[in-house]
Structure 1
Amino acid sequence: MTTHPSIASRLEKMETSSSQLSPDCCQTEDGLSLDCDAAVDPVLRREFLEELQKVRQIPICERQCLPRIFVNSGTLKLIGDLNTIISSLKDEPDMSEISYLVYSAASLVSKRRGLKTTKSTNSQTPTWRRRLDMEILTLRRAISLLLEVRKGSSGIRMLHELRRLRHRLGISCSESCEVSINRLKMELKSKVERTRRLEKNRKRLRQNGLFQRDAGRFYRDLDKQTIRVTSPPSESEIEQYWGGILETEVHHNESAFWLRRQTDDETHRKDEQQWLPISDNEVTSCLKRMGNWKSPGPDKVYGFWVKCITCLHTDLTRNYNLLVQNPDSVPDWLSQGITTLIPKNDKTDQAKNYRPITCLSVFYKTLTSVIRQRIAGHLDQRNLMAPEQKGCRQGSFGAKDQLLINKLLTEDCRTRHKSLSMVTEISQSSFERKDLERSTPTNVKSLDRIETRSPSNYCLCLSGDHTLNRI
């Protein structure tokens, strides 16, 4: 979910109009030099500085998660004023200070709009459903009593209950039992159909909203493969299993013939990518492609707020260039994440049957997105990626076309009784197996485990071996 073009244009108009006003210089209590714009509410400026002081006292990884907001004209006006206030600060903020400023602005907007972090009530039964269920239960009770009366039952308690239901449902005493039963059955059928229709509309609205917020979760809900964790593994088992995969050093076979051949071929090529400073356009382009309300990292900053606080984009680019030049200056919170283990099957007592998903900071994902875009552009320009590689590259929808080609080939050979020689590559996730086996018609060789931290780098490492086996 990306920011609507009208929202970005309206924010730019607000910033342009505010920058044309004459500033009046003043100084805050904490010594920050500030340009006091007459168009900005002084109460808002004071509230923002107070909120900024509170946020600075809280560790970045211990913040509270902020609620999502509904964007309207009032919200855009408030964000535009905060952009003016933040841009008037004369200091050049570092990466941690940018996180403080963005979170303070988001927290202040949430408070101004009267939003609080509350538990979701989507699981509760709506009022109309409870009312219809009660009416359906009453009709079924009345039909059951009328059927007993028609059979000849004449208990005192039953007749008293039937008289009460007749009065409640408006059934005349002069009406025959058969006519009352048929009328109540028709009314019951109408109530049930109405309940189904309303429930279908409610499900449709819920799915539409879920698709706009989180398309991945929408598709997972369609599969209806909910796995309940009844006996989770202990913390020591999880650390032992994942520590053996992510922390154990692996020594690869550096004397393989195909690796030496590929190295000799690459030494004569001058395709080394030259690193250039990151530009503002690259950062802005990556932010536009980022989701607004995806799960945040430990800093609890959503992508929506980084997009809207446009006055910090230049400072963000400057800090990215500094971090690339001096990797030792990267703050600890920037590379940290919140990891959630999702079960893959019903055997939830084993640590290997979980799939890890890590929520990283928006600032970290933006930097890696810029680097990924540069790598992808360099690979396409130099034609370094094997053309047979369909996954993990831009403009590709996976290996669907390869599967269709295989299907056409096999069907053609079966119908025309042709002989077919095929090469099958069997690969599994590096989290599940320590070896990647590749089967060929002549031999079977095993490659050491390759960490797939970057899918592009992983495919690029295998690209040289693909060129050797290309027919």
Structure 2
Amino acid sequence: MVEQPANVDAAVNTPVVVDSNDDGTVAQELELEHMRSILEEAIVETRSTPLENRPRLPRIALSKRNRAVVRALNPMLVTYLEASRDLCETDSILFGAALAVCRIIGAKVSTAGRATGHSSAIPAWRRRIEERIAKARALIGRLICFRSGNNRPRIVRTVRMAFAGTNVSLSQPDITQKLTERIDDLKQRIAAWGKRIRRYTERSTRFNRNRLFQSDQKRLYESLERLMVSGTGPAPNQADTVAFWRGLWSEPVNHSEGPWTEDVASQCAGITPMEPVIITPDDVAEAVRRAPNWKSPGLDGLHHYWLKGFMVCHSVLARQFQEALNQKSLPSLFTTGITHLVPKDQGTTDPSKYRPITCLPTIYKTLTSILSARITCHPDSNQVMSRAQNG
């Protein structure tokens, strides 16, 4: 007890010896500070950006490095999430954190906005080959025009570019033969590129089917049995389509319920009412765990992967879900989406022959997943559903 103050003073006055491992610690702290600044910048940017102008988040690889970046940003979000006032602000914070991860790992983020930047279903390799084919066909047309006697300056300039790097001159006597050989060479290249597209397409189809067979055999067999609907047919009239679906969704309709509803109500009178739903962070974690990582998001552009990675948001989401249930209201963001019409029949122009598919935000899907699980666990849920179906 007497010697302890002396030992403390000696420890304080002892010069600090920097070990070689301290360089790694300092570098790690600097890297964390850099991540924190990127996170702050991304969250501020997301808050000031309209929803339709948010960039499209890419699907990142599930590598150790990417997971380490997500884990490093996870505790940094506590300060932002604790100050979140509602679900919309929480969604904005999570999107900003996801954007920060993409910038830290160097993933390519589209800056065109989600509303205007529609992704093409054609893969990039096919677009490149089709561009080569289009340029080759245009060049063949110019060469044929020059061979038939068209000497316009644009045609002559294109022909000279086609023979650049060779000893062929446009004034030599066998230029017609050289033009024919060049045209035949381009035609052979076009045929080879076409075969390459077919070969790559077949390989991609086999790969996707094999992967789908391993993950979901039912979907594979349904896709093989279902008639493939071509999108090259005539499209329905836009005014008719808007009028048809507006009549179903926007205009109020007075429904006349049948007498069966009273019978169902009397039969369900003896069913025990469901206890009030209490949402816990474990419920949110379980609902997020069951959801696919990269399922199509809603207008907010946030995937389930980020709800899984940023685990500190589970308690905040549970609290805000509970507040929404108690208040019986949700922000309009979580019940608004873009509806895509998928044709049921081939070559149809009838708006009623289309199936509407709407993608809603993943946070709303998480809430409905929790509620559906609670309703399914209710002891009388099957009885209620059977009576309603029989009625």
State the secondary structure of the residue aligned to 1:376: helix
Letter of the structure 1 residue corresponding to residue 94 of structure 2: V
Corresponding residue number in structure 2 for 1:415: none
Letter of the structure 2 residue corresponding to residue 292 of structure 1: N
> Do the aligned partners of residues 198 and 336 (structure 1) sit closer, same or farther apart at CA in structure 2, a change above 3 Å counting?
closer
Structure 1: gaps of 5 or more residues: 1-36, 131-156, 165-194, 387-455, 466-471
> Do the aligned partners of residues 213 and 92 (structure 1) sit closer, same or farther apart at CA in structure 2, a change above 3 Å counting?
farther
Task: Please list the CA deviations of residues 109-129 of structure 1 after superposition, one character each: whole Å capped at 9, or x if unmatched.
Answer: 212222215773253588xxx
Higher relative strand content: 1
Is residue 235 from structure 1 mapped to residue 238 from structure 2 by the alignment?
yes
Percent same amino acid at aligned positions?
26
Corresponding residue number in structure 2 for 1:102: 94
Q: How does 1:404-419 map to 2 (within 5 A)?
A: none
Asked whether the equivalents of residues 212 and 220 of structure 2 are also in contact (C-alpha less than 8 Å), the reply is yes
Asked whether the equivalents of residues 298 and 336 of structure 1 are also in contact (C-alpha less than 8 Å), the reply is yes
Question: How many angstroms does 1:265 deviate by?
Answer: 3.3
Asked whether the equivalents of residues 227 and 343 of structure 1 are also in contact (C-alpha less than 8 Å), the reply is no
Q: How many correspondences in the alignment?
A: 291
Is residue 251 from structure 1 mapped to residue 241 from structure 2 by the alignment?
no
Corresponding residue number in structure 1 for 2:370: 370
Is residue 275 from structure 1 mapped to residue 273 from structure 2 by the alignment?
no
Question: How many angstroms does 1:226 deviate by?
Answer: 2.8
Moved more, 301-310 or 200-209: 200-209
State the secondary structure of the residue aligned to 2:341: strand
Asked whether the equivalents of residues 35 and 104 of structure 2 are also in contact (C-alpha less than 8 Å), the reply is no
> Do the aligned partners of residues 250 and 81 (structure 1) sit closer, same or farther apart at CA in structure 2, a change above 3 Å counting?
same
Give the Cα separation in 2 of the matches to 1:270 and 1:221. 41
Letter of the structure 2 residue corresponding to residue 313 of structure 1: H
Task: Please list the CA deviations of residues 133-186 of structure 1 after superposition, one character each: whole Å capped at 9, or x if unmatched.
Answer: xxxxxxxxxxxxxxxxxxxxxxxx9xx99xx9xxxxxxxxxxxxxxxxxxxxxx
Structure 2: gaps of 5 or more residues: 1-27, 111-118, 134-173, 182-196
Corresponding residue number in structure 1 for 2:383: 385
Letter of the structure 2 residue corresponding to residue 234 of structure 1: N
Give the Cα separation in 2 of the matches to 1:273 and 1:303. 29
State the secondary structure of the residue aligned to 1:349: coil
Question: How many angstroms does 1:232 deviate by?
Answer: 2.2
State the secondary structure of the residue aligned to 1:294: coil
Corresponding residue number in structure 1 for 2:7: none
Task: Please list the CA deviations of residues 337-366 of structure 1 after superposition, one character each: whole Å capped at 9, or x if unmatched.
Answer: 121000111343211111000001001111
Give the Cα separation in 2 of the matches to 1:54 and 1:335. 24
Query: With structure 1 as the length reference, what TM-score do the two structures score?
Result: 0.54
Letter of the structure 2 residue corresponding to residue 230 of structure 1: G
Question: How many angstroms does 1:336 deviate by?
Answer: 0.7
State the secondary structure of the residue aligned to 2:299: coil
Give the Cα separation in 2 of the matches to 1:236 and 1:199. 36
Higher relative helix content: 2
- Higher RCO (C-alpha under 8 Å, 6+ residues apart): 2
Counterpart among 58, 64, 71 of residue 49 in structure 2: 58
Corresponding residue number in structure 1 for 2:320: 319
Corresponding residue number in structure 2 for 1:114: 106
Question: How many angstroms does 1:462 deviate by?
Answer: 1.8
Letter of the structure 2 residue corresponding to residue 95 of structure 1: L
> Do the aligned partners of residues 215 and 234 (structure 1) sit closer, same or farther apart at CA in structure 2, a change above 3 Å counting?
farther
Question: How many angstroms does 1:460 deviate by?
Answer: 5.5
- CA-atom RMSD, angstroms? 3.6
Asked whether the equivalents of residues 297 and 362 of structure 2 are also in contact (C-alpha less than 8 Å), the reply is yes
Give the Cα separation in 1 of the matches to 2:216 and 2:108. 21
Corresponding residue number in structure 1 for 2:302: 301
Is residue 345 from structure 1 mapped to residue 272 from structure 2 by the alignment?
no
Task: Please list the CA deviations of residues 86-107 of structure 1 after superposition, one character each: whole Å capped at 9, or x if unmatched.
Answer: 1244743121121112111211
Give the Cα separation in 2 of the matches to 1:50 and 1:263. 55
Asked whether the equivalents of residues 344 and 355 of structure 2 are also in contact (C-alpha less than 8 Å), the reply is yes
Query: With structure 2 as the length reference, what TM-score do the two structures score?
Result: 0.64
State the secondary structure of the residue aligned to 1:277: coil
Task: Please list the CA deviations of residues 261-309 of structure 1 after superposition, one character each: whole Å capped at 9, or x if unmatched.
Answer: 4433333x14211213211121111111111111110000011111111
Letter of the structure 2 residue corresponding to residue 225 of structure 1: M
Is residue 123 from structure 1 mapped to residue 116 from structure 2 by the alignment?
no
Give the Cα separation in 1 of the matches to 2:344 and 2:283. 37
